[in-house]
Amino acid sequence: MHYLPIEMQLIMLNFAPVFSNPVWQSALVLTIGTILAPGKRTVTSSLRVMGLKDEKRFTNYHRVLNSAKWAPLVCSKILLCMLIKLVPDSWPLIIVVDETIERRKGAKIKAKGCYRDAVRSTHKEVIKCFGLKWISMMIIVYVPWSKRPWALPFLTVLATSKACNEANGKHHKTTVDWTCQMIMQIRRWAPDRAIVLVGDGAYAAVKLALRCSGFENPVGLVARLRLDAGLYDFPPPDQPGKRGPKPKKGKKLPTLTERIKDSATEWNTIKILWYDGVERTLEIFSGISLWYTPGKNPIMIKWVVVRDPKGNLRTEAFFSTNINATESQILTWFVLRWNIEVTFQELRAHLGLETQRQWSDKAIARTTPALSGIFSFIVLAAIEMLKDDKPNIMNCAWYNKTDATFSDIIAYVRKRIWQARFLADSSENDDCTYFKNDFLDTLLEQLCFAT
């Protein structure tokens, strides 16, 4: 690790106890190689960029992913503990959750399934693709180089397909089942912090809401709510002498769709920062009701219906299991969810998500979570490095930006790694800089492949 910037060394040392020393040395090479490599993020591309294309024992690096003993879940815990330090103690931890499809095909990829392709599908036509479904949880943090908060991944889980589970005789877990398990793990890792879990409509489930509210220190769940959701009044007070079980809910209330159409509904005006960062004036009405699904206990939620008086946005509803949250807080938390979509896009564009080619079960289960964790590692390293520096923001005539994006941040981190690795022994004379021979070979090779 002597060739890394000191800021990166201090961060990476937190993960060293998870690995044996030989595996740790190989994992270091793969991690730095993944950051430096352009294009595909395969093991071989990481070795090439690290100047190890002639390494005869290259299989040792494959074993880090497909057979070596180390605990990815422990790495997730360590990463989360470091990310939590970026959030002030007085703020809740806003954790966004969503799923993404890694397009993969091949007979040896057992966990794959056929899923809806969210990128290519429209409201009128559903496009499906074969691939792996990943459920990722990311924490919202504010970074010094951007006005927009970033979603940093720390826990990513492979949700195997139903066909795969049936073939292996395993109980199939739905997205909601996995999310319940993941939020239980996070609550164990951060038992004392206030947590808000934010998801889209796929996570609007009574089962998940009950799980979040069932902790000794409850987790607030915020998600999009169906306009035809089953909302009920509170049960009537106990009547003395009445026999039988106490009712859990009262009479069924009109649906939100019916209330929207009702001319007697009173709408209030609210101003809020929307997805584009521009303040919008919206109209809302809200309430507190019991949300019920057959087979589950009802749960109390606070719901908010939002419409655009100009008619440019769809009328939608959102809810929170924290009934003390204000309407503005609920909408603000949900708007922050969009940052997870940005992170998914950056992972594909700059860290080669979907370009890895492992086919063993263990390597598949480890590689994508590792790539997601490297995204957060790069941001953590950049925050430390930029305390006394600033990134070079790449602008052009057709794209003038004022805030640094992930492409600028990873470029800055790469530059610092190259400087620490190859320029440490350079001459003090500015007119005569000494480079090691393998640096020139590696640089030329990368320039060729970069084109």
- Token pair recorded at residue 223: 């998600």
Q: Report the chain's terminal Cα–Cα distance, integer Å.
A: 30
CA 105 from centroid of its chain's CA atoms: 24
pLDDT band of residue 99 (cuts 50, 70, 90) is: very high
The total of structural domains in the chain comes to 2
Q: Are residues 321 and 226 in the same domain?
A: yes
Q: 129-177 pLDDT, tens per residue? A: 999 999 999 999 999 999 999 999 999 999 999 989 998 899 999 999 9
Asked which of 326, 341, 361 is the last residue of a domain, the reply is 326
Average pLDDT over residues 442-451: 52
pLDDT at 241 over 90: no
Q: What is the 3-state secondary structure (H, E, C) of the chain?
A: CCCCCHHHHHHHHHHHHHCCHHHHHHHHHHHHHHHHCCCCCCHHHHHHHCCCCCCCCCHHHHHHHHCCCCCHHHHHHHHHHHHHCCCCCCCCEEEEEEEEEEECCCCCCCCCEEEECCCCCCCCCCCEEEEEEEEEEEEEECCCCCCCCEEEEEEEEEECCHHHHHHCCCCCCCHHHHHHHHHHHHHHHCCCCCEEEECCHHHCCHHHHHHHHCCCCCCEEEEEECCCCCEECCCCCCCCCCCCCCCCCCCECCCHHHHHHCCCCCCEEEEEECCCCCEEEEEEEEEEEEECCCCCCCEEEEEEEEECCCCCCCCEEEEECCCCCCHHHHHHHHHHCCHHHHHHHHHHHHCCCCCCCCCCHHHHHHHHHHHHHHHHHHHHHHHHHCCCCCCCCCCECCECCCCCCHHHHHHHHHHHHHHHHHCCCCCCCCCCCCCCHHHHHHHHHHHHHHC
Average pLDDT over residues 328-357: 95
pLDDT band of residue 395 (cuts 50, 70, 90) is: confident
- Token pair recorded at residue 61: 């690096």
Q: Are residues 208 and 291 in the same domain?
A: yes
Q: Are residues 317 and 393 in the same domain?
A: no
Polymer length of the chain: 451
pLDDT confidence of residue 447: 46
pLDDT band of residue 425 (cuts 50, 70, 90) is: low
Average pLDDT over residues 355-366: 92
Residue 115 lies in a domain: no
Q: Are residues 407 and 294 in the same domain?
A: no
pLDDT confidence of residue 116: 86
Domain of 227, in residue numbers? 200-326
Q: Are residues 209 and 303 in the same domain?
A: yes
Q: Are residues 394 and 320 in the same domain?
A: no
Residue 285 lies in a domain: yes
Q: Are residues 204 and 320 in the same domain?
A: yes
Q: 181-196 pLDDT, tens per residue? A: 999 999 999 999 999 9
Cα–Cα distance measured from residue 235 to residue 326, given in angstroms and rounded to the nearest whole number: 24
Lookup result for tokens 């049960």: 235
How many C-beta atoms lie closer than 10 Å to residue 177's C-beta?
16
Q: 51-97 pLDDT, tens per residue? A: 999 999 999 999 999 999 999 999 999 999 999 999 999 999 999 99
Cα–Cα distance measured from residue 72 to residue 366, given in angstroms and rounded to the nearest whole number: 7
Report whether 94 contacts 198 (CB < 8 A): yes
Residue 93 lies in a domain: no
Closest C-alpha among 281, 301, 140 to residue 225: 301
Q: Are residues 291 and 406 in the same domain?
A: no
Average pLDDT over residues 13-35: 96
Q: Are residues 220 and 309 in the same domain?
A: yes
pLDDT band of residue 450 (cuts 50, 70, 90) is: very low
Residue 90 lies in a domain: no
pLDDT band of residue 441 (cuts 50, 70, 90) is: low
Asked which of 326, 346, 364 is the last residue of a domain, the reply is 326
Q: Are residues 311 and 208 in the same domain?
A: yes
Average pLDDT over residues 183-211: 97
Q: Give the torsion sign (CA, 335, 341, 343, 345).
A: negative
Closest C-alpha among 312, 249, 303 to residue 276: 312
Highest mean pLDDT among 235-239, 377-381, 388-392: 377-381
pLDDT at 30 over 90: yes
Residue 99 lies in a domain: no
pLDDT confidence of residue 393: 86
Burial track 357-375 (b if 16+ CB lie within 10 A, e otherwise)? ebeebebbbbbbbbbbbbb
Residue 105 lies in a domain: no
Residue 361 lies in a domain: no
Lookup result for tokens 């009445």: 242
Pairing label, strands 150-159, 220-225 = unpaired
pLDDT band of residue 451 (cuts 50, 70, 90) is: very low
Q: Are residues 204 and 322 in the same domain?
A: yes
Residue 80 lies in a domain: no
Cα–Cα distance measured from residue 98 to residue 270, given in angstroms and rounded to the nearest whole number: 27
What's the whole-model pTM score?
0.92
Q: How many percent of the chain have pLDDT more than 90?
A: 74
Asked which of 276, 311, 326 is the last residue of a domain, the reply is 326
| Range with the poorest average pLDDT among 129-133, 134-138, 203-207, 421-425 | 421-425
Q: Are residues 210 and 315 in the same domain?
A: yes
